[in-house]
Structure 1
Amino acid sequence: MKALFTSLLLLLLAGCSTGLRIDRDHVSANQDNRIQFVVLHYTNASLERSLALLTHGEVSSHYLIGDGPATVYQLVDESRRAWHAGDSQWDGRTWLNSTSIGIEIVNPGFTDTPQGRVWHPYSEAQIQSLIALLKDIVKRNGIQPRYIVGHSDIAPLRKQDPGPLFPWKRLADAGLGVWPNANAVAQQQAWFASNPPSIVWYQQQLARFGYAVSQTGELDEATRHVLAAFQMRFRPQRFDGQPDAQTAAMLQVLNRMR
């Protein structure tokens, strides 16, 4: 009798411990994917050093693309937050670690020489691996092409990666980014050459595109950094942070595409 009572008590306790019932029949329409951005970086280090830093250092990323061969390493599950963006902002959203997937690409970045700064190119194999990886990530997460950005876009005052040799147009041609139409830019450039816009206009257009820029009306250091980041991405031949007709034309065309 005592044994029977004990068994019944254990069954009752087991039922209590698993008694939570969740009704999942009512799904809210007011939701979207937590992952909204992909942020691209170069490592400024060798593959061996990059793996060490990204797995045992203070920073991390979801993926790393090696060099020779361009192996794709997954270092952090996409459901978890990686520490790759830092103090960042894009399109009004801040601290993008929580809402982004970070991809690091093994690349030295740049070398300063007596003749000036020399930037290092990405290999064809790396770009092919990146495009394949991005297509998979974008498809699974429903990420908008304009939300594939560089570290220099989301933190222009302190970062320059993935640098001026990164092939943004090639990504855009693959549906993995945005790029201004050349004919539309030429038409707008001719108009802006005779009608240069104010600094306030540049700051408004840069903010509309996604950059964090204070609306000071002055060509201050912060505004020059943001202009340089935009130019480095869309006109890598010259990214001096100075306003000009071509920069204005590209900004206007891109914002009209939105």
Structure 2
Amino acid sequence: MITTLHKRWIKSCLALPVLALLAACGTYGPPGKLNIDRSVQAKSQNSRVDFVVLHYTSAGNGASLKILSERNVSSHYLVTDEQPPHVYQLVDESRRAWHAGASQWYGRNDLNAGSIGIEIVNAGGEGLVWAPYSAAQIATVTALLRDIVQRHQIKPLNIVGHSDIAPQRKVDPGPLFPWKQLAQAGLGRWYDETQVTANISQLQPSGLPDLRWFQQELIRVGYAAPTTDVLDKATKNVIAAFQMHYRPSRYDGLPDIETAAILMALR
């Protein structure tokens, strides 16, 4: 004969496995959602972001915003030419923006995967006619860059222009972009101008290094240069990109003693 007390004991025994199962499920939280413990963080880690790539848009504020938000191209940030400039964040820094395209820097391809792209509203140009950047834009870009560089610990040599990483296709941000000013603010690579003067004096007696030397030196400082020992169009494009960044007073793509002296100073 099963008494009321026996019935209660049986019910409690049957309930134990169910309670144990529910307790186990509680470790994982609601169905379909893990309860992940983030209380311990590994010491050995760093940011996935290694580069910042600077561009100009070749379009006005409205058109630039529309292109970068609605078409098959994007950037993490857009800096307008309004007064004061407005900064849009169009892509979260944890996600890939489509701004670099086919590119290379220090032998690394697919720079979209490890870079932050900053587009600056500027009409661009060609030949000797280029649209200037406003002081307010550069101040805004400087503040934005400083924040990004500090958070991701980006090396100065990895703050580059689109023309640096894709010299066969691109010329932005152009010769009027103030790379020297940024470098003086601790944002980018530059060279000791006194050393350049000394290098010119050293080079003048022996004359210009051969073309293979220029190609190898450009590779050493990060560029994807041919190794043909021929002054072909591809080599001239890389030299011009280098000159546009480091010697914007003349960017004809022709090797000369001053360009060689700057390359030497970047050692």
Q: TM-score higher than 0.5 here?
A: yes
Q: Does the residue aligned with 1:102 lie in a helix, a strand or coil?
A: strand
CA–CA distance in 1 between the matches of 2:41 and 2:86? 43
Cα drift, residue 6 of structure 1: 9.8
Partner of 2:67: 53
Partner of 1:175: 186
| Cα deviations by residue, 1:195-225 (Å, 9 ceiling, x for unpaired) | 2111111111100100011222222211111
State which of 146, 151, 159 in structure 1 corresponds to 2:162: 151
Matched, 1:94 2:72: no
| Cα deviations by residue, 1:45-77 (Å, 9 ceiling, x for unpaired) | 010001101111111101110112211111111
**Greater C-alpha Rg:** 2
CA–CA distance in 2 between the matches of 1:100 and 1:121? 25
Structure 1 residues 9 and 182, CA gap change in structure 2 (3 angstroms): closer
Q: Does the residue aligned with 2:204 lie in a helix, a strand or coil?
A: helix
CA–CA distance in 2 between the matches of 1:125 and 1:173? 17
Cα drift, residue 12 of structure 1: 5.4
CA–CA distance in 1 between the matches of 2:245 and 2:174? 8
Unaligned runs of 5+ in 2: 1-10
| Cα deviations by residue, 1:161-208 (Å, 9 ceiling, x for unpaired) | 000000000001000012222211111112223321111111111001
Matched, 1:37 2:48: no
Partner of 2:233: 221
Give the TM-score of the pair, scaled to structure 2.
0.86
Give the TM-score of the pair, scaled to structure 1.
0.89
Unaligned runs of 5+ in 1: none
Check whether the contact 1:157–1:226 (CA below 8 A) recurs between aligned residues: yes
Cα drift, residue 243 of structure 1: 0.4
Matched, 1:211 2:226: no
CA–CA distance in 1 between the matches of 2:142 and 2:27? 51
Q: Does the residue aligned with 1:41 lie in a helix, a strand or coil?
A: strand
Cα drift, residue 23 of structure 1: 9.5
Count residues in correspondence: 250
Q: Does the residue aligned with 2:53 lie in a helix, a strand or coil?
A: strand
Cα drift, residue 15 of structure 1: 3.9
Matched, 1:198 2:213: no
Q: Percent identity?
A: 54
